[in-house]
Amino acid sequence: MGFLDTILDRIRKTFRSAIKLVRSKVFGSNNERLDFIMDSFNKLPPQHQSAVLVGVGGVIFLFVVGAALLYISRVNALSSELDDSFSAYHELRSLKAEFQTEDKRFEKLVSSIDKKTRNVKYKPFFEKITKDLSLQMEGLNEEKLAIPVDNPLSEKVKEVKITMRFPEISLPKLLNFLVEVEKSGKLLRIWDLQIRSRYGTKLFFTAEVEIRGYATSL
């Protein structure tokens, strides 16, 4: 049964229930009141019978009008409910389409992160860069951090925090190192950088670098 058929069926049931309730109240559950009314009516003089018929006709007219108004009000209420239901249905379909689009974009993002970070071993990766640039690196530490739960990525991706220290490095070589890290395509970014001067020289510095990356659970 369709949605519209369900609404129409509810209207019919409501109207039938109202008629049945009024008939039971007026005539009794087994029409015992109807027999009493007819017997009393037959005992009345003709002029009184005419007056009763006019009064009954007026009551029936009012009843029909009242029932019609009740029916119309219920139809209008159900029509309004039907309009609201259709509006909610169309809105739900629109939201579903938007969700599916965003969900595809999200899965594509997660897949891209996984593809770029799946086989990355951070310690050998940084050791190779420092070796290629002839740098001395100390204390490389790697730590996985949970992404805040309000971020949709939190269920499938973790953040990786990498820290390292260069006890003696020139600014040009430090900049070369940072450039190599960010252009590697491994979704690495410089998070923090601290540079301290070394006593007795203006060409070399001590640098501490914090770098952030990603690791997926796929």
- The pLDDT-based confidence of 80 (bands split at 50, 70, 90) is confident
pTM of the model: 0.54
What are the extents of the domains in the chain? 3-112, 122-216
pLDDT digits 0-9 by tens, 96-136: 888 888 888 888 888 888 888 887 888 899 999 999 999 99
* Helix pair 46-117, 3-27: axis angle to 10 deg: 150
Give me the chain's average pLDDT, please: 79
Give the whole-angstrom CA distance, residue 156 versus residue 107. 10
**What are the tokens at 202?**
């203006």
Give the whole-angstrom CA distance, residue 100 versus residue 194. 44
How many residues would you count in the chain?
218
* Helix pair 171-182, 122-132: axis angle to 10 deg: 140
Residues 6+ apart with CB under 8 A from 185: 116
- The pLDDT-based confidence of 172 (bands split at 50, 70, 90) is very high
Give the whole-angstrom CA distance, residue 53 versus residue 35. 16
**What are the tokens at 84?**
């609201």
CA distances from 53 to 31, 38, 39 (A): 19, 12, 14
CB 160 within 8 A of CB 122: yes
Is 60 exceeded by the pLDDT of residue 218? Answer: no
DSSP state of 136: -
Is 90 exceeded by the pLDDT of residue 154? Answer: no
CATH 3.10.20.30 given to domain 122-216: no
Give the whole-angstrom CA distance, residue 127 versus residue 138. 10
- The pLDDT-based confidence of 185 (bands split at 50, 70, 90) is confident
Give the whole-angstrom CA distance, residue 113 versus residue 118. 8
